[in-house]
Each structure stands twice: as structure tokens, then as C-alpha cells.
Amino acid sequence: MKVRFLLDENIPPKLKTALMRRCPTMDVLRVGDADAPPSGTLDPEVLVYVEQTRRILVTNNRKSMPGHVADHFAAGGHHWGIFNIRDSASMVALVESLELVWGASTADEWKDKSDWIP
């Protein structure tokens, strides 16, 4: 199965725009989009959404998300990957990193894994 992404609402909208310009067929949503959780959705609900829709979560929420992920696992939940963005990451580096993951891996490879990008 092809990798699909959900950008957390704290990710600048310009990342989605840049990804869609570079890879128009990439399946990427952002919290607040029509087919994504609405803006303001709590982190535990976002984790349920990414589990159900098999999307990798791209976030820079390093404070509360790890605890929510631990609670999600403790309740028997899973996720299809979580990518944490470094504050120092450039837009170009983020786009290239996500493009590489999208083009060179499958969704199953990221199940229950978390990583930093770039």
C-alpha cells in the first residue's frame, strides 16, 4: 500500500502546497482539510484517525504527542508512522524527505514506528 500523510494542524500549510507542487499524485491531507479531522481536533482523536485511515502523521508536537502515543498503544491502538519535524528543518529538506518516503517505501514499513525528519 502506498504511503499517505496527514499533516498536523501545527504544520504550516505551505508544506502541503509544496508537496503537491512537487508530487501532484501524493496523498497528503492536513488537519482542517475537508476529508481530514477538523481544526482543533485533540491529539488522541488524530491518532485514532491516522490508525483508521493508514496515514503517517507529520507533526512538530514534541511535548504532548509522545504521551498520547503511549496512551494509544496502552489502549491497544497502533499507528502507521509518526514523523517528527525538527525546528531547524528547511521547507526544501522536508519536501525532499517526505517525497523520498513516499516514493521508496510502503505504508506497512512505517507501522508503529516514529522517526525524525529530515
**What are the pLDDT digits (tens) for 20-58?**
999 999 999 999 999 999 999 999 999 999 999 999 999
Q: What pLDDT does 1 receive?
A: 86
Domain residue ranges in the chain = 5-117
Mean pLDDT of 100-112: 95
Predicted structure pTM score: 0.94
- Of 78, 79, 9, 5, the closest CA to residue 38 belongs to 9
Quick one: which of 109, 77, 78 has its CA closest to 1? 109
> By three-state DSSP, how is residue 89 classified?
coil
Nearest-angstrom CA–CA distance, 24 and 39: 24
Q: What digits encode the pLDDT tens for the residues 49-90?
A: 999 999 999 999 888 898 999 999 999 999 999 999 988 899
**Letter for the amino acid at 24?**
P
Q: Please report, as a single letter, which amino acid is at residue 52.
A: Q
Asked if CATH classification 3.40.1350 holds for the domain at 5-117, the reply, yes or no, is no
pLDDT of residue 118 exceeding 90, the answer is: no
User: Beta partners for 6?
Assistant: 29, 57
Q: What is the DSSP letter of 38?
A: P
